[in-house]
Amino acid sequence: MKTTTLREFKPKTHEIKQKSNKITLNSIENVETVFQRFLRTRKSYGVVEKTITAYTSHFNASAKHFDTKKDINQLTKDDMENMIISMREYGLSPNTIRSYTITLRAFLNWCKQEGYSVPPLAKYKGEDIIKETYTDEELKALLKKPNLKKVRFPEYRTWVIINLLVNCGCRASTIRSIEIRDLDLPNNIIHARHTKNKKALVIPLCSEMVSIIEEYLSIRGGESEDFLFCDEYGGELSENALRCSVKRFNKSRGIKKTSIHLFRHTFAKIYLIDCGGNAFTLQKLLGHSTLDMTRHYCEIFNAEIAKGYDKVSPLTQLNLKSKKLKMK
């Protein structure tokens, strides 16, 4: 009889492999999602809606040239450079590309502040374009006062607006936001409280402009809180209504140019060239936050370089020295 030797019983142990539950932040956020956060932040800072719209438009246009679904932290310098190349090959103008990159640079700078790892985006060089302006002949036609016995209110109102644009070169948005209580006609000024950069702007008025506004008020009427320039029923004048009104008025005077902003360029040119104005005063008149844009006006409308040039022109001096030939 065989004896069975009992082996020492060892209970079977089950090796438990415990998975490490490492807690990590899910950092996969695509460019598009982060850009929406950027817009919300800008809105919370009080950036005007028009700027937010421009940001969105520029980003959407740029999105055709790089992958906005990509993880924001995986963006590379090559992505940005290839985007610029794609824009150029697509036929976008240098100034359009510059506008898009200004928005993207603002976005990427914000991303860095938020802790994202994003590549740099170099400034894109645009082209200096001589700003088109209204000629003296065109201004003469536009500033001719309409017959108040025959004209309707919208046309008369637009004539007053054009006079004000030539007087001070303010923005269309500023024109629309002026309230009757903002007028200080005894001191020849308007206190514009609603401007693009949200800074109060003092608009000086010449004596002729004061007289024009006084007559306009006698016809327009209204309360102190009402908008100075209104529609036919006394309501707020919309951006589109103002644009269309100026367009109709200009065409009725035989002027093909219809841009409201063109009056701003025209004011800057006349102020610098004909009136001998300086950059610092022009900056205040136009309501620029910095001298950058004002300096640009000074460069393209350089009056100083042409003043008295006959005295220093080599051609003039040589002709003066040459002997005058007489007919025999």
Cα 141 from chain centroid?
29
Provide mean pLDDT across the span 39-58: 92
Position 26, amino acid: N
Confidence check: pLDDT of 16 > 50:
no
Q: What is the pLDDT of residues 66-117, one digit of tens each?
A: 999 999 999 999 999 999 999 999 999 999 999 999 999 999 999 999 999 9
Q: Who contacts 266 (Cβ-Cβ below 8 Å, separation ≥6)?
A: 133, 134, 139, 166, 169
pLDDT in tens, 135-166: 999 999 999 999 999 999 999 999 999 999 99
Residue 236 has what DSSP assignment? B
Residue 15 is predicted with a pLDDT of 44
Compute and round to an integer the Cα radius of gyration of the chain.
Answer: 32
What is the per-residue pLDDT across 241-298, written as a single tens digit (0 to 9) for each? 999 999 999 999 999 999 999 998 888 888 877 777 676 777 777 776 665 666 666 6
Q: Is the pLDDT of residue 58 over 70?
A: yes
